[in-house]
Amino acid sequence: MRNKIYSILCGFAILSMLGCSEDYLEVQPSEFLTAEQVAEAAANNPEVIAGSMSGIYTLMFQAFTGGTGGHDDFGQKGYDIFSDMLSGDLALTVSTYGWYRTITEFQATQDFTFNDNYQVWRYYFRLIRSANLVIDALGGNDATPEIAENRYIMGQAKAMRAHSYFYLAQFFQEGLDLSEEILPIYDDPSLPNQPKSTAQEVYNLIVDDLTDAISLLDGFNRSAKTQIDKSVAQGILAYVHAALGNYAEVKTLTADVINSGTYPIMDATEVLGGFNDVNTPGWMWGVDITTDNGINLVSWWGQMDRYTYSYQWAGDRKALDQGLFDQIPANDVRKGQFLNNPNSSYHLVAQNKFYDPARVTGGQRTVTTDYIYMRVAEMYLLNAEAAAKTGDLITARNSLKALLAERFADPLDYAYVDLLTGQALIDEIYLQTRIEFFAEGKSYLAMKRNQATIVRGSNHLSFVGEPIPYDDDRLTFEIPQAEIQNNPFIN
């Protein structure tokens, strides 16, 4: 018990230093442990640094971790909404309170003074800085801790740093020019302001971190799905290699996860079951939200669920793009995830995909419905995509059909897949990816790696029918004003 209390105190100490990072660079407050003290203690007692790693995971779902007081500032799921809206698959159909108008109307993404840019930048770099402190306390980037528990923590920290840099690279670069300077690299907590590094250098760090993480996490049996384990690290690296076009690596990584047999694809009942329980077998990574977390209106559920006390209920409707809905066959179970009633303001809201089980409109006040970050269905569709793009038609079709077998009652309904080849097969996999992962934060990544052109359907409030290519400047964020003012190497 004494060790557990000590680890929690250490976690709060490090997080307190993270929250005041500018002061921390100048002075180490005497009321907190120093990084050197934490490193010395962690060498013998892994629980010391485990508390700090738990604190990093908490940053992923806490409110205002992007440095604003906005009700769209609540960690990773907040940026999943940003990206789904930029991809066009998530439509803002009614706007009463004005949240997300600067995203859907492309104001923020064209003006570096808008807070949305700062919010995205600060959140991910805060996670990076947090991970750097953990890595440094365990011996630094090149160290391999002797104690197994510390190796697992090192693996998690490196995976988190890579995950954050990957999203920054996706959000702040329009296409994929590896020679373009895009982001400053911070892989050490003592580094001062840095100039921008090339995309190649950024992706090299991401791949190296995840490769290390996969090795370090071998044998790790996590205590909760909040933690990154080997399979999750493989999943993140698969996304990275897919973005880079390294599809042979994607096939291998996703096949390893699939063949582990750990996670089944969510079945027809589960995809209508609310997406609210981290214990769902097909979920690979997520958060068990409890009353102790104190989550309420400022949350993903507070923006997306009509059965929570939310903006979705009160007058800011977010729904599936009408054009995408029209492409879902009537006998596909996923069609039933959406309210299909053009006379209702909730038209095409995913009220049968994401919901509080009590089903009382505006009812859930303290959020206890869980967050999802990754599920195994992503591995099947990434595997299918990679196989199709490398000419392996049999694997591509089989991986795609493995998913569709859980979405259609009759195999004849998806038998058409066996006739698809070339670009038609790639296009079908892309379509199924958009349908399957609606509002889960995956459509933006798929849009960029497939170099797609988006066309907003009739239920959007702006830019309806306008073709927008994946590398349009309006689909990426601007380096924020605060960074330009405070970092002399960036203009």
Q: What is the pLDDT of residues 16-63, one digit of tens each?
A: 444 434 333 333 333 445 667 667 777 777 787 999 999 999 999 999
d(CA 180, CA 202): 10
pTM reported for the whole predicted model: 0.93
Instruction: Give Cα 1 to chain centroid, integer Å.
Output: 34
Mean pLDDT value across residues 300-305: 98
Question: What is the separation, in whole angstroms, between the first and last Cα of the chain?
Answer: 51
Percentage of residues of the chain with pLDDT beyond 90: 89
Rounded to 5 degrees, what are φ and ψ at 65?
-75, -10
Amino acid present at 237: L
CA–CA distance, 257 with 265 (Å, rounded to integer): 12
Does the pLDDT at position 264 exceed 80?
A: yes
Q: What is the Cα–Cα distance from 204 to 273, expressed in whole angstroms?
A: 40
pLDDT in tens, 225-242: 999 999 999 999 999 999
The pLDDT, as a whole number, for residue 28 is: 34
Please write the tens of the pLDDT for every residue from 426-449.
999 999 999 999 999 999 999 999
Of 246, 260, 163, 151, residue with least CA distance to 210? 163
